[in-house]
Structure 1
């Protein structure tokens, strides 16, 4: 009984509450598990969701003897954006250099927590980056398909639409109709025929 209580106490001490972007350790010391990821540019392991962090020892027969750090969410587990994930997001705000979005799906699964994404001017498209006009690329309410680049500084994920198949997949015209893509940079309202600018995602044929 005493041993069990001591074990519970150790477990509670080992589990620490963390939030996205919090440093969990160095890649040389620990391996990222569920709810954690390693940033290549600085070899640091970060938390990717809010929850309890715990460290698990390696199995004795493993060639990699680093312990694994994982973060288990305080809410029911849903998918969590990771660098390299494809996400579907709704644009909420467009500014001169960035657009903000709420991430709705990671891959085919809907998220259960709120994750914010930011698309920076340099990540909108692959060419003529300095000529990108954010207001001609996205509008609030647009649904975009994007790639998660990294966890940014403000607890928001940096997203990219710089590939042909990424960008706006659904947009509503000023008249309230779902627009049809007519080129890489334009969508047309089927009701009024009016054309609006967007960074359009290429539809798989």
Structure 2
């Protein structure tokens, strides 16, 4: 707000061309069209480059009106809680970007084609996720203005924590199954491979 150009922007809004400006906090550059976009709601600021910087493009950043927390960007790995499972997609709330918890509410969607890398046409969403599951996922893109698109199509991505019907934290027993330690009940999931 200290600048004259206290322009409010929203996620997905164009901030400039990559040839003219570089993406600062709260912004990201899309490589496919060399455009810099806002990744959160806030005020647009242009920061001039330091005189000795080899890159003389000014940085454009979006500073939220709230304290700045981490922001999901294409390529970042996030932890999200599944909120709703539909036939062709699952909705989730992003809780962490990398090791840092987010301060704003970010909504995400895992589409049927992004659940796993093989046999995409056989994916059944209700056998991959349940509401309340905690998933590790990769941010594919900003999606539409309402939600990020996430992918769990790599071995290390998918459900990392799930609660059984009996209320216990389930144990993964294969790529597609988790078991309740109390009842022995097996439930199907798209399980994330634990990092060894």
With normalisation by structure 2, the TM-score equals 0.94
Cα distance, 1:204 vs structure 2: 2.0
The answer on whether the counterparts of 1:21 and 1:155 sit within 8 Å (CA) in structure 2 is no
Matched residues, number: 196
Spell out, residue by residue over 1:136-179, the C-alpha distance to the aligned partner (whole angstroms, 9 max, x if none): 10000000011111111133111111111110001111111111
Trace 1:89-128 onto structure 2 (pairs within 5 A): 89-128=80-119
Trace 1:13-24 onto structure 2 (pairs within 5 A): 13-24=4-15
Flag structure 1 segments of 5+ consecutive residues without an equivalent.
1-7
Cα distance, 1:29 vs structure 2: 2.0
**The 10-residue stretch of structure 1 (141-150 or 13-22) with the greater mean CA deviation from structure 2:** 13-22
With normalisation by structure 1, the TM-score equals 0.90
Q: Secondary structure at the match of 2:29?
A: strand
Q: Secondary structure at the match of 2:145?
A: coil
Q: What RMSD in Å do the two structures reach over aligned CA positions?
A: 1.5
Greater C-alpha Rg:
1
Judging by fraction of residues, say which structure has more helix. 1
Cα distance, 1:12 vs structure 2: 3.8
Q: Separation in 2 of the partners of 1:178 and 1:78?
A: 29
Q: Separation in 2 of the partners of 1:30 and 1:90?
A: 35
Q: Secondary structure at the match of 1:152?
A: strand
Flag structure 2 segments of 5+ consecutive residues without an equivalent.
none
